[in-house]
Amino acid sequence: MDAETLAARADARRRWGLAAPAVAIITLFSILPLGVVLVYSFLAPGDFGNVRWQLSFEGWFSVLFERDIFDDTISLSDAHLTILGRSVALSLATTLITLVLGLPTAWFIATRPLHQRAFWLFLITIPFWTNLLVRTIAVQEMIRSEGVFNRLFLWLGLIDAPIQMMFTNFAVLVGMAYVFLPLMVLPVYSAIEKFDFRLAEAGYDLYASRAYCLRRVILPMVRPGIIAGSILVFVPSLGAYVTPRIMGGGKSMMLGNLIEMQFGQGRNWPLGAALSLTLTALVLAALIWYTRLTSGGRRNG
């Protein structure tokens, strides 16, 4: 065996040795728990929670279907499909709202003088210093019946009685948009900061309107940041638990709340495990979509 081969093998062992701690952590805290959830999804539910070690596909069946308690007829599970549809719809709406608000915010920060940008980024990251529960309760205090907005509207004479905004899809949407807005601003800002503003000036010199220049010059260049921000918002929104629990109550449940309920008062661990893997599959589909978009951009130069 020549010296070059020995050196290559030694280098490979060194690399694996350096990667071993990370691989061990990922295996112990990600792959193994996911394997346990996968096994539980194919078992029968216990009488008081937990599982019975008996092969069963009832958990997966119950994700989309349900049996009538009287004649065992099978029909679609309207409750689960409604919650699944609500979760996807609210996550997409949250992504869209944060994009509409985050893009001009990131543009504003990126166009400030260099010595001022750190200050504006500091303001954007301040919410991360506060616990998610505290931030959600702060939003609740703004939109509840006796909250700031209703008092302001009453004082201005715009309404005669407080508007019921809490425990609705609107409340969940407002809460998630506030919580996840920084996750959109930061990657979009990173993309805009690298943008060569001379390209926009060239567009204006060629008599392009501001809207046309935005659509054909600026947005294609900052597209990677927009896609990354959208994924960073959509993925945690889809599995959100705290914000829908507080802002939506029992009326606007999302997939994360349904999963928690199956492991809690529902005592149907196989169904909870199947729903968890369904959520994982949705997240994986979003990540695959993101990978294909970004790789397609690299192939096109």
Shared domain check, 89 and 64: no
Shared domain check, 98 and 56: no
Q: Which domain holds residue 59?
A: 3-74
Residue after which a domain boundary falls, among 74, 101, 118:
74
Which long-range contacts (C-beta less than 8 Å, at least 24 apart) are formed by 252-261? 252/86, 252/167, 252/168, 252/169, 252/171, 252/172, 253/83, 253/86, 254/83, 254/86, 254/87, 254/90, 254/172, 255/83, 255/84, 255/87, 255/279, 256/87, 257/83, 258/80, 258/83
Over residues 170-197, mean pLDDT: 92
Shared domain check, 202 and 97: yes
pLDDT class for 290, splitting at 50, 70, 90?
confident
Shared domain check, 222 and 96: yes
Counting the structural domains of the chain, the total is 2
Task: Evaluate if residue 1 carries a pLDDT over 70.
Answer: no
pLDDT class for 7, splitting at 50, 70, 90?
confident
In the Cβ-directed half-sphere of 57, how many Cα atoms lie within 13 Å?
A: 3
Place of tokens 């130069």: 301
Shared domain check, 224 and 86: yes
Shared domain check, 167 and 48: no
Shared domain check, 206 and 83: yes
Place of tokens 């599959």: 281
Shared domain check, 241 and 100: yes
Report how far residue 87's alpha carbon sits from residue 64's, in angstroms, rounded to the nearest whole number. 15
Shared domain check, 112 and 38: no
pLDDT digits (tens, 9 = 90+) for 30-62: 889 999 999 999 999 988 888 999 999 999 999
CATH of the domain at 182: 1.10.3720.10
